[in-house]
Amino acid sequence: MAEVQAELKTVGIDITLHPVPRATWINDGNSGKTQFIWSDWYDDYPDPQDFSDYLLKTGAGENWGRYFQSRRR
């Protein structure tokens, strides 16, 4: 994470790191109370659905970015 902090600083963005225990990290991610949270996802099988259904679907448990897809017709 320090590498990301250094790269952002080169373009004028200063961030402060706040390492926390895993349980706190999970609670903070699920609550949406943090401005930014470092996370990653590894696919179980090579299909875009493995990412979209868990990370980008409205209401998905791992949708920490709070992505929302409106249903426009």
pLDDT digits (tens, 9 = 90+) for 5-41: 899 999 999 988 888 898 888 888 778 777 677 766 6
CA atoms within 13 A on the CB side of 59: 1
Q: Position of tokens 């709070």?
A: 66
d(CA 36, CA 16): 11
Looking at residue 32, what is its pLDDT? 73
Band the pLDDT of 66: cuts 50, 70, 90.
Answer: confident
CA atoms within 13 A on the CB side of 4: 8
Q: Which residue has the higher pLDDT, 69 or 5?
A: 5
Q: Mean pLDDT over residues 47-65, rounded?
A: 77
Q: Mean pLDDT over residues 29-55, rounded?
A: 75
Looking at residue 73, what is its pLDDT? 58
